[in-house]
Amino acid sequence: MLYLFSVRYSGSDGRAVLYFYDDEEHKIVKIPDYSGHKPYLLTDLTPDEIIEKFPEVIKHPGFNKLDIVEKYDALNDRWIRMTKVEANDPLSIGGSGKSIRELLKDHSWEAKIKYHHCYIYDRQIIPGMPYKYEDGEPKIVETSVPEGIRKLVEGLVEDKIQAAEMIEWAKLLSAPIPKIKRVAIDIEVESEALRVPSPKLAEDKVIAVSYYSSDGRKGVYLLEREEKHGNTQISLGDARITFFKDEKELLLATFKLIEEYPLLVTFNGDSFDLPYLYNRALKLGFKKEEIPISWKERDEYPELRNSIHIDLYKFFTNKSMRVYAFGNKYREGNTLDEIASALLGKGKVRHEELISEMTYQRLAEYSFRDAELTYELTAFNDDLVIKLIILMMRISKLPMEDLTRHNISAWIRNMFYYEHRQRGWLIPNPEDIKRIKGDTSTRAIIKGKKYLGAIVIDPLPGMYFNVLVVDFASLYPSVIKTGNLSYETVRCPHEECKRNIVPGTPHWVCTRRRGMMASIIGILRDLRVYVYKKAAKEVKSEDEKQHYDVIQSALKVFLNASYGVFGSEAFPLYCPPVAESTTALGRYAILKTMRKAVDLGIPVLYGDTDSLFLWNPSRDKLEKLLQSVLDDLKIDLSVDKEYKWVVFSERKKNYLGALKDGKIDVKGLVGKKRNTPEFIKKLFTDVVTTLSKADTITSFEEAIEQVKDDIRESIMRLKNNQISLDQLAFNVVLTKDLQEYVETTPQHKKAAQQLLREYKKLYGSTPVNIMKGSVVSYVKTRDREGVKHVQLARIDEIDTEKYLDIMKTTLEQVLDALGISFDELLGIQSIDDFLQIKSKK
């Protein structure tokens, strides 16, 4: 079968080239001149008006023809007649000097989007789906939905139309996913110390190209250089080592290799490897046709002429991928080393020497590992990442190259646009949504925010046994669905709907029509919660289970961002009343549930956004609560966690508990935060672990003794300067470039500046790793600045008192809650006395 991977446009004539993956031959099949893609522009002028008022349109070199079409204008709830101006490219500038859209500026719809996939098509095609080619047309291969999945869907909704829509989505998700033949490559170039090689200039020799493929070809192409790099008789496991005397030959071999694979995977290939290879090849005298890469400086990214390229750097730095698919395992880390270490448990080869100084053996090892890791990132867990990409292509309708390079808002945008075209709806202009639907009405608590968000219920401080946490399964998608929220249904034009108010807002919701966003988000949510999650639990075979898990996590990525985008001005369907109504319904749901719990006599200890902590509820009362929420709010509430005990302080988002399975849950406490010095984090964890082991009063007393010992020991080590600078360092991320900190000078900025100054003095250059996004490590010192970069500080400069203070406040978050005083625990009157005594000495 052929799987649609990519859609590209040949110049400005509007015809598309489709790139399919043939899963039998394992190669890319190109279909040029795809006629189904005729971009056009819609206008509210009649054909006669166009001919009369804008004769240039008809004379435009790209102009094709005029047609009349019926379109649904959802904002005003009416079908209207529009004129379709068919042109090779209505956005591009033709011989007349102006694009057709430019000419019809005030009367044009739907072509305001620069992005090339946002034209409207006569026949829509779905990236990632299986096709066969018949009579010059790609036809989607109808695949059946597994019986188990179909049963789950049909058992879910009575409405036949809704069930049919859900089955359509289930078809997308259930269609087979091909095994993809692919190769990962990584290049190394010979550059001088501290100079970052420029892919634009490509001045340095390409000295190594490593490759690692799905069909077992792996190796390193090396360039023979001076003798100091060692003997060429080197070996590297089962990797094949090939030496080239001539750099041109090396590039030729590399290009041949790339051409043999339908999919190329790199890490940062968009900004480095591919443009570098391209420009270097030109420099060495290759003709453009001899290079499989096409690259122009103003291109968004380099393209492979006959195959597909994915840059994993772009894909793995995508926020939604990090947070939702991988549980935020690798946080701010952007490097191959960090990502691979987190996901594969294996990092890059460490090296002290410069790449250009390495021996052949070292260079091969270093470079090969990069290619290996890059490949492994697509292959671990049975090709999990490839499967996710294909599924998300189907949900978003974005081609592989675009999906992996754009953020979630583009995915969701494209998904909704597709749906508009499918239904014959006009895609509204952002200004029109804003003008008709208006702004937010609630006031945000945080300065600078646009509207009111979630609520956090004040915790009841103390220690509680048998605590049960209930939560709403994807609360925001649920209320979008049950509240029928969508840009066209919120503040709809109908008089009778104005009584259907969203609690806590002046907004109302349509009672006549089902909202598009509500419908789609609702379907995705139900498929995830009731169908694929359930199926994953029920099926016997490990393979099937894993497959359903991939599907449900792909859905999760979309669901988690489905509310946020409506509150983002950058999103073209931005609709403040929708975003505001979503959080309002969320607040309504949690507060109503809390009241119900209290009415049933269940004490509510705490709650945040979509969860409630219930104190020792009886089975009976719990059942009643869950049922009444389902009946009244039509949202599922279910048991999320069970704690043996939980400790709350007076602070919100701060608690500590022991789960029934013995696992310890620490939330929000400073001792857990990434920026906290290792030494304090370690002490904190030790204290928590010790205390958590106790479940009776006597063992608790023993635990406290142990804690005392631990803390005293730490204080002694601190005072005796026995703790290394590394252990004492705060690690804080620079979220801006240094020059951008204008309001204040935070400590991490100070430390970064110190280091830069020092480097300038010593080497005349500055380290490359101090910029936006890098982590600055500093310790607190007794000097005037109070802070020193960890690389510049000496152990005897440490401000011991400051650290004792930090130790105290950190541990107090736990000890306070347990009714233990830090100072009493240590048998001193107070920490302040202690500090005073010390400073007098």
Partner DNA sequence: ACGCGTAATAC
Partner DNA sequence: GTATTACG
Contact positions with DNA (CB under 7 A) in 578-607: 579, 583
Among 146, 564, 603, 767, binds DNA (CB under 7 A): 564
The yes or no reply on residue 398 touching DNA (CB under 7 A) is: no
CA proximity to 805, closest of 670, 652, 701:
670
Lay out the site mask for DNA across 323-362 (x = CB under 7 A, - = otherwise). x-------xx------------------------------
The yes or no reply on residue 608 touching DNA (CB under 7 A) is: yes
275: which 2 tokens? 């443009």
Residue type, 301: Y
Among 336, 452, 469, 584, binds DNA (CB under 7 A): 452
CA proximity to 124, closest of 138, 145, 113:
138
Torsion, CA 601, CA 602, CA 604, CA 610, rounded to 10: -120
Among 96, 334, 341, 407, binds DNA (CB under 7 A): 407
Residue type, 376: E
Spatial separation of the C-alpha atoms in residues 710 and 684, rounded to whole Å: 10
Ordered DSSP codes for 273-325:
HHHHHHHHHHHTT--GGG-SEE--TTSSS-EESSSEEEEHHHHHH-HHIIIII
User: Which residue, 146 or 461, has its beta carbon nearer to DNA?
Assistant: 461
The yes or no reply on residue 568 touching DNA (CB under 7 A) is: yes
516 Cβ contact partners less than 8 Å away, ≥ 6 residues apart: 74, 416, 419, 420, 423, 425, 486, 488
Spatial separation of the C-alpha atoms in residues 163 and 694, rounded to whole Å: 52
Count of residues interacting with DNA (CB under 7 A) = 71
Spatial separation of the C-alpha atoms in residues 620 and 636, rounded to whole Å: 17
- Contact segment (CB under 7 A) with DNA among 196-204, 250-258, 390-398, 780-788 equals 780-788
Among 209, 364, 408, 779, binds DNA (CB under 7 A): 408
User: Which residue, 152 or 310, has its beta carbon nearer to DNA?
Assistant: 310
The yes or no reply on residue 320 touching DNA (CB under 7 A) is: yes
Closest distance of CB 770 from DNA, Å: 13
Lay out the site mask for DNA across 658-687 (x = CB under 7 A, - = otherwise). ---------xx-x-xxxx------------
The yes or no reply on residue 654 touching DNA (CB under 7 A) is: yes
CA proximity to 660, closest of 504, 803, 469, 832:
469
Spatial separation of the C-alpha atoms in residues 292 and 289, rounded to whole Å: 7
- Contact segment (CB under 7 A) with DNA among 56-64, 291-299, 646-654, 756-764 equals 646-654
CB 562 within 8 A of CB 412: yes
The yes or no reply on residue 461 touching DNA (CB under 7 A) is: no
Among 161, 196, 446, 762, binds DNA (CB under 7 A): 446
Closest distance of CB 458 from DNA, Å: 8
* Cα-to-chain-centroid distance, residue 552: 16
833: which 2 tokens? 């006395």
Spatial separation of the C-alpha atoms in residues 697 and 687, rounded to whole Å: 17
Among 98, 329, 513, 651, binds DNA (CB under 7 A): 651
The yes or no reply on residue 409 touching DNA (CB under 7 A) is: yes
User: Which residue, 280 or 413, has its beta carbon nearer to DNA?
Assistant: 413
Q: Rounded to whole angstroms, what are the CA distances from 628 to 480, 597, 599, 635, 636? A: 20, 10, 12, 10, 10
Closest distance of CB 643 from DNA, Å: 14
Secondary structure letter of residue 695 according to DSSP: -
Among 449, 537, 757, 760, binds DNA (CB under 7 A): 449
The yes or no reply on residue 793 touching DNA (CB under 7 A) is: no
Which residues ranging from 716 to 745 are in contact with DNA (CB under 7 A)? 731-736, 741-745
Lay out the site mask for DNA across 248-287 (x = CB under 7 A, - = otherwise). ----------------------------------------
User: Which residue, 202 or 433, has its beta carbon nearer to DNA?
Assistant: 433
190 Cβ contact partners less than 8 Å away, ≥ 6 residues apart: 204, 205, 207, 225, 355, 356
User: Which residue, 198 or 675, has its beta carbon nearer to DNA?
Assistant: 675
User: Which residue, 185 or 469, has its beta carbon nearer to DNA?
Assistant: 469
Which residues ranging from 802 to 821 are in contact with DNA (CB under 7 A)? 802, 806, 809-810, 813
User: What SS3 state is found at 588?
Assistant: helix
